[in-house]
Amino acid sequence: MIDVAVTGAGLRAVEDGEGWLILGTTGFVGKLQPSAQDRQSNLSMVLATGRGSQVLEFLVPMTGTPNLDWIRDVLGFQDRDWDEIEADARQAPAGSGGVVYLPYASPGGERAPFLDTAASASWMGMSLTTPTNQILRAVYEGVAFSLLECIDTLKMSEDLVVSGGGFRSDLLCKILADATGQRVVRQEAPEAGARGAAVLALVSAGAASDIGEAADMLKTGMEEFLPNPDNYSIYRRTHEVFKAARKAIQPVWPQMRSLRHESEA
């Protein structure tokens, strides 16, 4: 079983309708569906779980933690730890004062929740008065908005169970909770994928009757991030601007790519 799928067992997501998110070099947003016929997107991947007709449907956006590493370098913050950087970002208001960051920084473009190999990253809505903390926070929000679109596409309405190095960021978890209006739940222990593999091993060895029982045997403490209703309203409006900005600039992405390739030649 591939790592993103086995992570679900480690997070005790086993029932239809349950799902989880992973944020690392790229993103992952997955939901367990009763069958392949319940698939929500033609850009998703589908994997049989081995539990009847149940499948895992998932979207894998290219946006991930490299956006955060990149802005850290661009702003010259290489010598500052992430707690200090996030403290700066928290000084900016939700919505980053109208600054929008399109997080499509991967050289390969984007593959979910839309497909465009020419997709590029950019900031929009800045002026000479824009402070650094708004530019910084906008990157966190842009990454969260990419995940939000995948969550909306898969119609995930339950708690958002998260894993992966990117979600060690309290700020990113809080932004995701505020932007979705849903509770974000993070296990305190790392390596949910390894724990998921151990869950399956317990079942295979007969030490547990099913995945749910095995997952309970290895359960860890949980941290939760609750949505702020005021920020939810701001983020829903900001997300609409985010999507409108992307739609406006998307037609010139291919030309931007061509200019990039010319400069690299």
| Residue 113, preceding peptide bond in cis (omega within 30° of 0) | yes
16 with 54, same domain? yes
112 with 168, same domain? no
9 with 131, same domain? no
Q: Which domain holds residue 159?
A: 3-62+153-225
90 with 215, same domain? no
247, 102 contact by CB (below 8 A):
no
Residuewise pLDDT in 10s, the chain (265 residues): 468 889 999 999 999 999 999 999 999 999 999 999 999 999 999 999 988 999 999 999 999 999 999 999 999 999 999 999 999 999 999 999 999 999 999 999 999 999 999 999 999 999 999 999 999 999 999 999 999 999 999 999 999 999 999 999 999 999 999 999 999 999 887 788 888 899 889 988 999 998 889 888 988 888 999 999 999 999 999 999 999 999 999 999 999 999 988 988 7
Residue 242 lies in a domain: yes
Residue 30 lies in a domain: yes
The per-residue pLDDT for 160 is 97
What residues contact 95, with CB distance under 8 A and at least 6 apart? 141, 234, 235, 237, 238
The per-residue pLDDT for 1 is 47
The burial of 261, by beta-carbon neighbours within 10 Å (0-12 exposed, 13-18 middle, 19 or more buried), is given as exposed
The CATH number given to whatever domain includes residue 72 is 3.30.420.40
142, 245 contact by CB (below 8 A):
no
201 with 241, same domain? no
Residue 146 lies in a domain: no
The per-residue pLDDT for 162 is 96
108 with 214, same domain? no
The per-residue pLDDT for 261 is 87
The pTM of the whole model exceeds 0.75: yes
The two structure tokens encoding residue 30? 């997955």
